[in-house]
Amino acid sequence: MPDGRRTPGHRLGDVSSDTPPVAKKVPAERTHHGDTVIDEYAWLAGKDDPDTIAYLEAENAFTQGRTEHLKDLQEAIFQEIKGRTLETDLSVPTRKGGWWYYSRTEEGKQYGIQCRVAATGDTPPLLEAGKPLAGEEVLLDGNELAGDSPFFAVGTSSITPDGTTLAYSTDFSGNERFTLRFKDLRTGETLPDEIPDVFYGGAWSSDGSAFFYTTVDDAWRPYRVHRHLLGTSAEQDVLVYEESDERFWVGVGLTRSERYLVLAAGSKITSEVRVLDAEYPTGEFAVVRPRQTGVEYSIDHAGDRFLVLHNEGAANFELATAPIDAPDSWTPLIAHREDTRLMDVQAFSDHVAVHFRRDGLTGIRVLPGEGEPYEISFPEPIHTAEPAGNPEFHTGRLRLAYASMVTPPSVYDYDLTSRELILLKRRPVLGGYDPDHYEQFREWAVADDGTRIPISIVAKKGTERPAPTVLYGYGSYESSIDPSFSVARLSLLDRGLVFAVAHVRGGGEMGRRWYDEGKLTRKKNTFDDFVAAARHLEESGWSSGIIARGGSAGGLLMGAVANLAPERFIGVVAEVPFVDALNTILDPSLPLTVIEWDEWGDPLHDPDVYAYMKSYTPYENVQDRQYPPILAITSLNDTRVLYHEPAKWIARLRATAKGGPFLLKTEMGAGHGGRSGRYDAWREEAFTLSWILDRAETDKAPETGEST
C-alpha cells in the first residue's frame, strides 16, 4: 500500500493561497501484465497521514484564493437559489393504510421533517403553503437528529405494515455507515434496540416483529442479510443470507402487496431472487430461479401470480407472469420490443403500471384488470415521467412524478377510472418564474461511427446565439440523465447561458443496446459521443464556448474528454470524479472494485482489459499539452470515489500539463453526495456556478422581469 512508500518526516510546509501547491513525488512502482508504472502520487491515499491532510488544506486555500474575486457572485447566486425556493413547504401526502405520509421543510432549517396524518379514501388532503396539516404527527425531525453535526443523512425510513413502529438509520460523517434504531409511533419513544454499521434499506415482517437489514464487507459491498427481532439485542440477530461471490451485492424489501419478503442478489449482469411469506419471518427464503450469467430479473406480487421483469432472450426486457408455486415458470405478458426498454413494474390490486423508455424519453403503460393496456399521454414532447410514491396496494389512483427542462417537478394522480391526470402540486418557483419565458429543444449529434446522439437543451427565450454553454454528461451503469428542471440552473440561463445534456452511450436513454455500446471494451464510445455533442453544439450555432460538467462516473468522462479534446472546452467541472479508474479497478480490496469488473472489465486478470483501460483513464493519460481550466470537487469521507483520485489527478495535471488553472476543492467532512444540509448544498452549487460564469467570461446580471 502507498503508506509504506512515503518518505518519513517529509512535510508540505506553508503554502500561500496565491501559489499552487506542489505535491511531493514519492515513486511507487507497480507491475501488471509486464507493464511497469510509476505512480508518484500514490502516497495521497494515506487519509490519516498529516502530509495528506496538509496537502488537501493547501489545495483548498489555493482554490479559495483563485476564486476570491467570485465571492460577491457566489453570494448573489446563493440568494437567487434561496429566493426562488419556498423554504417552508410540504410534499404531497402519500397514503399507506390509514395514514397520509409526507415531509416538510421549514425556513432556516437544513433538513426535512417526516410527518403523517390520519387518512380516509384516495384523495389527499389539501395543501396550504407554509402550514403543516391539521392533526400532524412528526415521525422524524432531521434537524433535531442532526444537532450540531456538520453532516447528517438518513439511510433508512421504514414503517411496519400496521403503522405502529418506525425503523430509521442515521449517518453523521458521510461515509454511508448507518446506525439503525426503532421508534414506537404510539408513544413517541425510541426503543433500546440499536444496530451499528448497517447499509441502506430494509423490510418488516407482516406483524412488525422482525426487521431485515443488510451489512457490508470490507470492500463496502452489501453482502449479508440479517433478521432482527424487535426487543432483542443486535448480538442475537440471525444471519439469514451471505453472498460469497464478490461480484454480487444483496438487498431486501417487500412486494407492493406486502405479502412477500424479497431478498435479491445481483451483479452488474446477473440476478437471483429469493422470496419468503412475510407472515413467517423465521422461515426459509426460496429461490425464484437460480442465477444464470447474463440473465437479470426482478419480481412483484399480483394476486395468484408473480410478475417477472427479465431479459432472458430479451435485451430490452420482457414482462412475464409466474405461478406462486412455480415461480421459475415464466409466461410472456408484454413481449420484448427492440424500440422499448421496460424499466420497472408495479403491481396493484386491480392494475399494473409499467415504466418504460422509448426514443430517449420515459413513459408509463397501464395494464387494467379488465380491458386493453394503454399508455398515458403527457403534455410536453420532451419530459420525464415515472410512477412515484405508490405504497398503497389497494387504490384507484396512480401517483406520478413529472418534469421537463422548463416545467418544475410536478406530482400527478392518474385516475384509473376516468383516465384523467390530476395535478396535485407543482414545485413553487418564487420570483415570478414563467415557463413560457424558456424553451427546450432536442438535437442530435453524429458520432464518428455514425451513431446519432440525443442532446437535450434549455435556454431562455431571446438568448443570443452562439452562447456560452454548459454541457453535462454521465454515461455509465445504464443510468439515464433524463430532462429535468433545476432552480439553480436559472441563475445561468438568466445570464444568457445555454444548458445541454449529452445523452451519451453507457447510459440507458436509448435502451439496453445504448448501455452495452458504452461499457467494457467499448467504453471509449462514451467519450467520443460527448466530444461529438460538443462539436455539434458549436457547428450548429448553439455554443460560443463549452464548459463541460459531470460527476462520479461522469467525472471520469470529464477527465477523459479533457485528455481527448481539450481544445473543445473553455472549462471543465469534475465532481467526485472517478479519474483514477485503472488503479482503483486493479485493487480488489477497495470499495466496489470486484462488483465493478462487469462494468469496466477486469484489468487485474485480463491483459487486454488492462491495456484498454490504461489507454483512456484520465490519470494515466495526462499529457504535456494545453488544457482548459479545471475545477475538481471531492469529499474526504467519500466511500464510492475516494478523495485521492481527484487529488492525484490535479497534482499530475499541475506537474505535466499546460494551461489551467487546475483547482481542487475538498469537503473535509462530507461524503459522495457532498454537503448534506440544503443551505450548505446551495452554497456549494453557488460556488460551482460562479466558477462556470467566470469561465464563460460573463459578469452579466440576470435579466429582470417576470422570470427572475
Whether residue 435 contacts residue 406, with contact meaning beta carbons closer than 8 Å, is answered with yes
3-state class (DSSP) for residue 183: strand
Q: How far apart are CA 393 and CA 97, in angstroms?
A: 9
What is the number of other CB atoms lying within 10 angstroms of the CB of residue 194? 12
Write down how long the chain is.
Answer: 708
Task: With residue 286 as reference, give the H or E element that holds it.
Answer: strand 286-287
3-state class (DSSP) for residue 593: helix
Cell numbers describing residue 316: 430490452
Q: How far apart are CA 71 and CA 397, in angstroms?
A: 48
Of the residues 226, 355, 503, 672, which is catalytic? 672
Q: How far apart are CA 190 and CA 183, in angstroms?
A: 4
What is the sign of the dihedral through the CA atoms of 621, 451, 480 and 299?
negative
Q: How far apart are CA 515 and CA 480, in angstroms?
A: 10
To the query of whether residue 552 is one of the catalytic residues in this protein, the response is yes
Of the residues 529, 638, 644, 707, which is catalytic? 638
- Longest CA–CA span in the chain (Å) reads 77
To the query of whether residue 638 is one of the catalytic residues in this protein, the response is yes
10 Å CB burial of residue 63 (0-12, 13-18, 19+) is buried
Whether residue 374 contacts residue 358, with contact meaning beta carbons closer than 8 Å, is answered with no
| Nearest-10 Cα torsion for 48, 51, 56, 60 | 130
Q: How far apart are CA 432 and CA 430, in angstroms?
A: 6
Of the residues 552, 635, 676, 707, which is catalytic? 552
Whether residue 179 contacts residue 212, with contact meaning beta carbons closer than 8 Å, is answered with no
Backbone angles phi, psi at 166, to 5 degrees: -110, 130
Cell numbers describing residue 354: 409499467
Where would I find the H helices in 48-186?
Answer: 50-66, 71-84, 142-146
Cell numbers describing residue 13: 510546509
Type of residue at 406? V
- Residues paired with 402 in a beta bridge: 385, 410
What is the sign of the dihedral through the CA atoms of 429, 472, 443 and 497?
positive
10 Å CB burial of residue 477 (0-12, 13-18, 19+) is middle
Q: How far apart are CA 406 and CA 435, in angstroms?
A: 5
Q: Distance from CA of residue 499 to its chain's centroid? A: 20
Q: What is the DSSP letter of 132?
A: P
Catalytic residues: 552, 638, 672
